Structure 1
Amino acid sequence: MNVPHPPYYLGCPSWSENAWREFLYPEDARPNELLGLYAQVFNAVEGNTTFYARPAAATVQRWADVLPEHFRFTAKFPRDISHEGDLRLHLRAAEDFIRLMAPLGQRIEPFWLQLSSSFTPGRLGELATFIDEMQCPLAVEVRNHGFFDRGEDERALNRLLLDRGVERICLDSRPLFSCVSTDPAVLHAQSKKPKVPPRPAALTQFPQVRLIGHPVLDANEPFLLQWVEKVAGWIEEGRTPYVFLHTPDNIQAPLLAQRFHQRLMARLPGLPSLPELDRAPPVQQLGLL
């Protein structure tokens, strides 16, 4: 049965959480089946795995064999490229990484460059050169507070990206930091994620959003509804947003993503439902209603 594709990309930061067998994957699913199962429900995934380690060429080919053409894998440049010194010194490594990921073709659209908090406005020249040298679709996430002051530094960043057709990734960590908890997973996430204001830039046809959710699903509602309205507006403008949902330990990330889609369906009548796996539990067990 052909299921219509939604007019935006929705996913989670990974696909290989064993805990998802409790509500998303079949209990007997083998590890090498998880990506294919994930892609039956969601049409995008954050390529966090490539930030921490380059995959083997055979692994990339397996991903390409499993993922449908309409799927999007936003592969992050490895952290030795994005986080270790002058970006201009890593151009060859970045080109090698793009070649490594080539079997995925247009399913990697865009590549993500996640910059550290130490990447200051004074280094925009490095970023300009990096973008100009890369022959691939790009999106950039900045974390230095100088890019969030609504001053000239932020305007310079936005102009640079807009002029080059590069999207600015919007990170919204407000739900995470609204949580007061002693849970180690929450504390770890709060220590790692930047506390910066959301900047839904939409500089290109493909706005990019990462929402780091509260561990209590219902506590995310006010943030979800804000994003539902923003994403619906982008879709109505003819844009194709990318939306990725996290939770502190990401165990509930698919539930949060499914909840987001349900809210968006209410806002955009006619939006198709997300597919369900044949062997997955019925939706009423997901605690989404």
Structure 2
Amino acid sequence: MGCAMWAHGPWQGRFLPQPLAAGERLRAYASWCDAVEGNTTFYATPPPQTVEAWARQTGPDFRLLVKLPKPITHGRRLAGGDEELRPFLAAMEPLGPRVHALWIQLPGSFGPGDLGALAGFLRRLPAGHRYAVEVRHPAFFTDPRAARALEGVLAGADAEWVPFDTTVLFRGPPDTDAEREAWTRKPRLPRRSPALTDRPIVRYLGRDDTARTVEGWQCWVDTITGWLREGRSPTVFVHTPDNADALPLARRFHDEVRARLPRLAPLPDPLPAEPLTLF
């Protein structure tokens, strides 16, 4: 269970300690959630000491969904990319089992005609990692033939299809500045919920209004509960346009699933947002 980032200004002093050194932010976040999206690696491969710091701040059961660099997925569109891929994989090695999956997020222009490039790329990847693919071309969501073709490519590599559910965001007009910005940047696609592997991944984007976010995720509570009963190990990332309350919302989602499946382990106890005192 996690969020889109582990450091966010509005969390400081509300949910996470303030002040908080940069080298302690992931540790504090990991007291709230046990997974996080690694979006920063999309923009640059971090130096080894940065990745080593991430590993030091988290336990071996913490999980990162690590996004492949933009030059590979958007620049080269999976054609080649070995020059960027090798140092990236080497940089991630200190995380060890914390790498839940390597996340291949593809541009909206990457359509059914590009599946050959995806299949070839997946074949070239080392077998030591799990892989998760996010597509944004409308044909994969509206054309059953395109969807089946993509599923076939992913099944051949035991890779997961990552849905990014934005349907709640676009269900009604935006009410906040963050929602208005999200309307211009986020993909508007149908919801997709089938799992291809035993470790499905869901990215859910709600609204800045908590009630609407919670109402919108009820279908996912049903789906996640079903997957757990089937013996799968799903991971869910909760977003809102401003992400101001994403931390407690992620825990609330987990609590709703746990209310149906009490055997599900609880999340860790969060660190206090304020320093403890003697009085």
- TM-score in same-fold range (> 0.5): yes
Matched, 1:183 2:171: no
Q: C-alpha distance in 1, partners of 2:256/2:176?
A: 28
Partner letter of residue 251 of structure 2?
A: Q
Secondary structure of 1:89's aligned partner = coil
1:120-199 correspondence to structure 2 within 5 Å: 120-135=111-126, 136-199=129-192
Displacement, 1:31? Answer: 2.6
- What is the TM-score normalised by the length of structure 1? 0.90
Q: C-alpha distance in 1, partners of 2:265/2:102?
A: 27
1:228-239 correspondence to structure 2 within 5 Å: 228-239=221-232
Displacement, 1:174? Answer: 1.1
Secondary structure of 1:143's aligned partner = coil
Match of 1:28 in 2: 19
Match of 2:264 in 1: 271
Match of 2:277 in 1: none
Match of 2:36 in 1: 45
Q: C-alpha distance in 1, partners of 2:271/2:164?
A: 33
Q: C-alpha distance in 1, partners of 2:170/2:190?
A: 11
Displacement, 1:28? Answer: 2.9
Gaps of 5+ in 2: 275-279
- What is the TM-score normalised by the length of structure 2? 0.93
Deviation readout 1:120-158 (Å, 9 max, x if unpaired): 110101000110111121100000011112421111001
Displacement, 1:190? Answer: 1.4
Match of 1:5 in 2: none
Match of 1:258 in 2: 251
In 2, are the aligned partners of 1:141 and 1:169 still within 8 Å (CA)?
Answer: yes
In 1, are the aligned partners of 2:32 and 2:251 still within 8 Å (CA)?
Answer: no
Partner letter of residue 179 of structure 2?
A: V
Report sequence identity in percent: 39
Matched, 1:82 2:48: no
In 1, are the aligned partners of 2:165 and 2:205 still within 8 Å (CA)?
Answer: yes
Q: C-alpha distance in 1, partners of 2:20/2:100?
A: 28
In 2, are the aligned partners of 1:231 and 1:241 still within 8 Å (CA)?
Answer: yes
Gaps of 5+ in 1: 1-9, 282-289
In 2, are the aligned partners of 1:13 and 1:47 still within 8 Å (CA)?
Answer: yes
Q: C-alpha distance in 1, partners of 2:271/2:65?
A: 27
In 2, are the aligned partners of 1:116 and 1:142 still within 8 Å (CA)?
Answer: yes
Q: C-alpha distance in 2, partners of 1:86/1:272?
A: 39
Partner letter of residue 191 of structure 2?
A: P
Displacement, 1:40? Answer: 1.8
In 2, are the aligned partners of 1:172 and 1:212 still within 8 Å (CA)?
Answer: yes
Q: C-alpha distance in 2, partners of 1:92/1:130?
A: 13
